[in-house]
Amino acid sequence: MYRMKTETATTKIWQRVRKNCTGKLTTEMETSDILHGSTNHNHDVDKEKTQAHMLRQACKRKAEEDLTERPRKILITESGKIETDHVSQESINKVKKAMWRQRRKIHPALPKTRQEALASLSGIQPRRSTTIIDTVVEHELAWMYSTTSVEYIKNVKFLFGDGTFKSSPKYFYQIYTIFGYKDNRYIPIVFFLLPGKSKAVYQKMWSTFKSLYEQVNGATFDNKTIYLDFEKQAHGVASDVLGNITLRGCLFHLKQSW
């Protein structure tokens, strides 16, 4: 196995991968034809290391190209393309670790605090023009929505709000979802990542939701019926912030509380 060491205007010089080996090749720049090479290898042929190296390079390249494919499947696929009869189990384990290391170089580092999580969310670029992700760092909460979903609220009479604590992302206290109900379908409108359940947090959330609706639709948010779970702070703040609405409890959450 060789790796490129240097290049000139017309040629490339390749050095053996194995340390202390004096073997070299010189190839033509455009056609990659071998011009000349040195066969003075000061070591015995090690098939296990050669095959393991070829397998590791192939798997690392595939793991970087296809981030969704499982390393186990990549290993099986690439093993069928090259000779691996001399590769030991120890070398296979090293190949698996090499694939994970290669992917970690591409993926951003996992956040260690809520502030880092909010910063990473604010840096996400939308894949479509209708998708907007915004973050409010000063109140340590984030919300995710699409303009199409917010526009949909104009034709919806009933809205539902529900906070989930068990499935909330790390560093956030809960994920609060606002749904629209129409034609026997519940459509998610906005997802809020909240740092707590205090009055101040809910006040910022409902104020943001109201401003978002009025900004996208160019109309006042009123004449809606909103069903909420039995979180006292959410009920009180919703009535104060949203104004002309009908606020009701949810039978599903009432049964849960019993």
Do residues 190 and 143 touch, judged by C-beta distance below 8 A?
yes
What digits encode the pLDDT tens for the residues 164-198? Answer: 888 888 889 999 999 998 888 888 989 999 998 88
**35-67: b or e for each residue (b if 16 or more CB lie within 10 Å)?**
eeeeeeeeeeeeeebbbbbbbbbbbbebbeeee
**What pTM did the predictor assign?**
0.61
Kindly list the domain boundaries of the chain, sorted by start residue: 2-38, 47-106, 114-257
- Stated length of the chain: 258
Residues facing 162 on adjacent strands: 177
pLDDT for residue 121: 77
For the residues 74-89, what does the mean pLDDT come to?
A: 84
Do residues 71 and 55 touch, judged by C-beta distance below 8 A?
no
For the residues 112-140, what does the mean pLDDT come to?
A: 67
Report the CATH number of the 114-257 domain: 3.30.420
Residues facing 192 on adjacent strands: 143, 176
Nearest to 71 by CA among 97, 49, 104, 48: 97
What digits encode the pLDDT tens for the residues 41-56? Answer: 555 556 777 788 788 8
